[in-house]
């Protein structure tokens, strides 16, 4: 056997401050099929890194099960590049953000990542709807009536007028992820009231962001989806202001929360 002498390099390598200029952390449900795929498609780039952690979640989708995730948020955020700062942390559950509350989600995340901007699907959706100047909205959710009611109250409480609110009645977020994109377009057409200013399609599990532009073409109104709104917010908070109409009209607008 050859006797091999190992040699140490004459100097230590020079290190960049970061592998990528910006860091987006995702806190996603253990059962989520969609968020990471959408963020790799819309957000990740040579400049922006997307880093995910998963937290426990048990179906069915009920207000009680959604609220049960709150104690996991701080530990989940801490697991994303431990002891390193993030530019943005996004908690990827729309209905849980409603029942836990945007402020409570932000506080839990900042306990682990104090310098990060915190994005929730609900707050991002509100920013998107307001960026369009929408006041009277239609809403489509995959949830039951009981899970949808707090969301209706959330938007009403923020001053929106709801022209039509449609629920698909599903209780398992894995089934929500399996709704065919063509079905989302069809249901979006049914869910949009003629006198509404815009349509919001809720739930980070559904693959609505991928067909947002198609829905807009079908209904003739702006569309905001959970993952489209959070991707838009994260991009803008990272200084990516590119206009990308192929992803939907929202991706042509400035982010008011920046």
Q: Is the pLDDT of residue 148 over 70?
A: yes
Q: Is the pLDDT of residue 258 over 90?
A: no
- Which tops the pLDDT comparison, 68 or 257? 68
The pLDDT-based confidence of 170 (bands split at 50, 70, 90) is very high
The pLDDT-based confidence of 121 (bands split at 50, 70, 90) is very high
Q: Which string of b and e fits 7-37 if b means at least 16 CB within 10 Å?
A: eeeeeeeeeeeeeeebbbbbbbbebbbbbbe
pLDDT tens-digit readout, 86-101: 999 999 999 999 999 9
Note the pTM of the prediction, 2 decimals.
0.95
Chain-centroid distance, C-alpha 224: 11
13: number of CA atoms within 13 Å, CB side?
3
pLDDT tens-digit readout, 127-137: 999 999 999 99
Over residues 4-28, the mean pLDDT reads 96
pLDDT tens-digit readout, 99-110: 999 999 999 999
Output phi, psi for 107, to 5 deg: -65, -40
User: Which of 45, 54, 55, 56 minimizes the C-alpha distance to 23?
Assistant: 45
Chain mean pLDDT for the chain: 97
Say if CB 237 and CB 136 are below 8 A apart.
no
Task: Quote the pLDDT of residue 257.
Answer: 67
């Amino acid at each position: 056997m050859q006797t091999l002498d190992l040699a140490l390099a004459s100097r230590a390598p020079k290190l960049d401050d970061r592998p990528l200029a910006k860091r987006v952390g995702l806190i996603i449900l253990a059962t989520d099929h969609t968020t990471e795929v959408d963020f790799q498609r819309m957000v990740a780039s040579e400049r922006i890194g997307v880093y995910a952690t998963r937290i426990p979640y048990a179906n069915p989708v009920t207000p009680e099960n959604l609220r049960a995730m709150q104690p996991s948020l701080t530990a989940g955020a801490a697991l994303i590049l431990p002891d390193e700062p993030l530019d943005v942390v996004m908690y990827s559950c729309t209905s849980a953000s409603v029942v836990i509350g945007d402020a409570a989600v932000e506080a839990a995340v900042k306990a682990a990542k104090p310098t990060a901007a915190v994005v929730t699907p609900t707050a991002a959706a509100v920013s998107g709807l307001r960026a369009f100047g929408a006041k009277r909205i239609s809403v489509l959710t995959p949830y039951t009536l009981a899970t949808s009611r707090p969301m209706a109250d959330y938007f009403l409480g923020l001053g929106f007028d709801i022209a039509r609110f449609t629920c698909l009645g599903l209780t398992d977020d894995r089934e929500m992820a399996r709704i065919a994109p063509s079905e989302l377009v069809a249901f979006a057409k049914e869910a949009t009231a003629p006198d509404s200013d815009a349509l919001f399609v809720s739930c980070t599990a559904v693959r609505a962001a991928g067909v947002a532009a198609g829905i807009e073409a079908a209904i003739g109104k702006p569309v905001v989806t959970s993952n489209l709104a959070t991707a838009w917010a994260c991009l803008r908070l990272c200084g990516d202001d590119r206009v990308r109409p192929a992803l939907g009209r929202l991706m042509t607008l400035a982010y008011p929360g920046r």
